[in-house]
Amino acid sequence: MITSLQNPAIKNIVKLSKSKERKDQQLFVIEGARELSLALQSGYRPEAVYLCREMFEKTKYPDLLDVLPPEIVCDISPAVFSKIAYRENSDGVVALAKPRPHTPDDLQLSRNPFLILLEAVEKPGNLGAILRTADAAAVDAVIICDPQTDLYNPNVVRSSVGGIFTVQTAVCTSEEAFAWLQKQYISSFAAELQAAEFYQEIDFTGPSAIVMGTEADGLSDFWLRHATKRIKIPMRGKIDSLNVSVSTAVLTFEAMRQRGF
């Protein structure tokens, strides 16, 4: 039982909130029994699991302990858990695992793929929400181009509620992503405010990828020049943009509607 907030292992978990530490140590944090269960189903193998049994009694995933090697499970006190937890109302589980490589060539596509591309995404909450949308729609993959946030940021893991483990993801430059799309014969549709074509007029029934930019700057000239088409969502109010995660959901589920899902 770890009860000291000064325990080296506990202090190291706190350090892993920083991208540099995650990169240097090749470790990231998974919080929550559901998220850890999904990670295990996706083939991740935790290096260590820190368990507050008092909180774990309330979990909806009590069978999790049955599939974890007991030698990697370490008991911690509620005070220690609160030190390392990233969210409220957690169920007392924090694990450390090694990240995976995420390249476009690792992706396994269906015969008629649909993908989400994100350029320079910077807010972990937006990335997590988009991964949730991708899971709900069962898209083939999410490709993150020129990211400004770490895929394994604890807030991405938290806000995706495990979608980071259920959705195929790749990380690369925009140039690499475009070349890969061409090689796979996938059409790209760049979302922007000034586009000529409304999204509901676009045919998404073939191999397709929607390309989304940041809320502050939109897409770069690279994607506006190279995408197959530029599309927009009609705006009737006085505010000229939706949250990028909401916009992504609108476009994604229109594609799913067209595909009969």
In the chain, the percentage of residues whose pLDDT exceeds 70 is 99
Structure-block tokens of residue 110: 């269906």
19-51 pLDDT, tens digit per residue, is: 999 999 999 999 999 999 999 999 999 999 999
Res 116 pLDDT > 80 = yes
| pLDDT value of position 212 | 97
Distance CA 101, CA 94 (A): 22
Q: Is 245 helix (H, G, I), strand (E, B) or coil?
A: helix
Our measurement of the distance from residue 256's CA atom to the centroid of its chain's CA atoms, rounded to an integer in Å, reads 20
Distance CA 226, CA 208 (A): 14
| pLDDT value of position 205 | 97
Nearest Cα to 95, choosing from 178, 134, 38, 142?
38
Residues 6 or more apart whose CB falls under 8 angstroms from that of 67 comprise: 40
Q: In the CATH scheme, what is the code of domain 8-97?
A: 3.30.1330.30
183-242 pLDDT, tens digit per residue, is: 999 999 999 988 889 999 999 999 999 999 987 788 999 999 999 999 999 888 877 667
Second CATH level (architecture) for the domain 104-258 = 3-Layer(aba) Sandwich (3.40)
| pLDDT value of position 240 | 66
Average pLDDT, the chain: 95
| pLDDT value of position 209 | 98
Residues 6 or more apart whose CB falls under 8 angstroms from that of 190 comprise: 211, 219, 223, 224, 227, 229, 230, 231
- Rounded to 5°, the CA angle 128-133-135 comes to 95
At 77, the pLDDT band (50, 70, 90 cuts) reads very high
Distance CA 42, CA 96 (A): 15
More confident residue, 125 or 89: 125
Res 18 pLDDT > 70 = yes
**Contact between 158 and 129 (Cβ < 8 Å):** no
In the chain, the percentage of residues whose pLDDT exceeds 90 is 89
| pLDDT value of position 261 | 82
| pLDDT value of position 242 | 78
Q: Where are the domains of the chain?
A: 8-97, 104-258
| pLDDT value of position 155 | 92
| pLDDT value of position 241 | 65
At 78, the pLDDT band (50, 70, 90 cuts) reads very high
Res 113 pLDDT > 70 = yes
Task: Give the mean model confidence (pLDDT) for residues 143-160.
Answer: 93
161-175 pLDDT, tens digit per residue, is: 999 999 999 999 999
Distance CA 206, CA 110 (A): 12
